[in-house]
Amino acid sequence: MMKLTKSRLKSSLLCALATVSLSYIGLVQAKEWPEDNIRLVVPYSAGGTTDLLSRKVADMLQKELTTVVVENRPGAGSTVATGQLARGGRGSDYMLLMASPGHTIGASLYPNLRYDPVSDFAFVRNVINIPNVMVVPSDSPYNTVAEFVEAARSQQLTFSSPGIGSSVHMSGELFKTMTKANLVHVPFRGSGEALPALLSGDVDVAFENMPTVYPHIQSGKLKALAVTTVEESEFLPGVMPMRKAGKGYGLETYETSAWFGLIVHKSFPEEGMVKLQAALDNVMSSDEFKKFLPQFGAEAGEVVGDDFRQFVQDEVQKWSDVAEKANLKR
């Protein structure tokens, strides 16, 4: 009788343990990404293009996933926030970073960074691309890229930027190295100082972001000689791409833009990546997002995942080469 009781007791305990185990497995399986709020880190101060884009994406993403909190962490041309993400650790499964040309340009200017701009991250997708525009003052004697290059090869001319290492600066350096033009860079503390110098004719040319110069092109205060992207911009019909406008002057392969995209730590969960990319697809295909793009003169990005990674890797190499030729490495 005692043996029977022990047997039954043992059987009951095993059944109870099995039930608990199954319940635990069920609870584990029920936990799906995201379980917590998502943080979208902006590696620049509030108010700029990166910040405005990030807040729009965050607002739309949380309709698809969960609460998305935007955090501004400016410093050292975006490398401060990027370095913090690269170190990973607690919370990195819920941290996104809105990367921009600063991500690749920073790596070319600061070779001793404590992170690798490609291998330390996983790449979600490119969100938008904004052309830079080669512009000159309205009373400039140069009306074409060819005329400008001819002049810059025979005399010293100047180009402005909102700061060393910006996409505007590096677009000018790329132009300079490809055309062998005699151009001197004049850096300012932001577009708020650089633009008036251009408008007044204190500098000869700039390779500015579309949103900064578009109103002044429309008003006739600036002349657009070329856009820096491969294709013509729908916002500046009739303004040729640089590689076409500068054909015969070494610019046949010229291409650059102010691109923006989401990256995460390399340990980011695969389930999270799949869900995040699907959510972004929904965001970017929405009418709300499409209506948002014109304020930046932007086009929706197309490269995703490994293709985005390859794009970033190519950008790092391109800007590293430009920085080397321009003696900009630090």
Q: Mean of the per-residue pLDDT values for the chain?
A: 91
Is 21 contained in some domain? no
Is 30 contained in some domain? no
Same domain, 123 and 267: yes
Q: What is the CATH classification number for the domain harbouring 180?
A: 3.40.190.10
Give the lowest-confidence range in 5-14, 68-77, 169-178: 5-14
Residue 219 CA to its chain's centroid (Å) = 29
pLDDT for 23? 45
Q: What is the CATH classification number for the domain harbouring 65?
A: 3.40.190.150
Same domain, 94 and 241: no
Same domain, 289 and 149: no
Is 13 contained in some domain? no
pLDDT band for position 12 (cuts 50, 70, 90): low
Is 16 contained in some domain? no
pLDDT for 5? 55
What is the residue range of 221's domain? 131-245
Tell me the pLDDT tens digit for each residue of 28-67: 444 689 999 999 999 998 988 999 999 999 999 999 999 9
pLDDT at 291 over 50: yes
pLDDT at 22 over 60: no
- Is the four-CA dihedral 207, 211, 110, 121 of positive or negative sign? negative
pLDDT band for position 74 (cuts 50, 70, 90): very high
Nearest Cα neighbor of 130 from 239, 240, 22, 234 is 234
Q: What is the dihedral of CA 218, 173, 317, 95, to 10 degrees?
A: -50
pLDDT for 1? 44
pLDDT at 16 over 90: no
Is 22 contained in some domain? no
Q: Are 163 and 187 in contact (CB under 8 A)?
A: yes
pLDDT at 281 over 90: yes
Q: How many domains does one find in the chain? A: 2
Tell me the pLDDT tens digit for each residue of 235-267: 999 999 999 999 999 999 999 999 999 999 999
Question: In angstroms, rounded to a whole number, what is the distance separating the alpha carbons of residues 34 and 32?
Answer: 6
Tell me the pLDDT tens digit for each residue of 147-196: 999 999 999 999 999 998 899 999 999 999 999 999 999 999 888 899 99
Same domain, 100 and 142: no
Question: In angstroms, rounded to a whole number, what is the distance separating the alpha carbons of residues 170 and 167?
Answer: 5
Tell me the pLDDT tens digit for each residue of 106-154: 988 887 899 999 999 999 999 999 999 999 999 999 999 999 999 999 9
Nearest Cα neighbor of 299 from 130, 60, 134 is 130
pLDDT band for position 2 (cuts 50, 70, 90): very low
Same domain, 89 and 138: no
pLDDT for 11? 57
Same domain, 195 and 274: no
Is 31 contained in some domain? no
Q: At what angle do helices 101-109 and 167-179 cross, to 10 degrees?
A: 60
Percent of the chain with pLDDT over 90: 81
Same domain, 263 and 317: yes
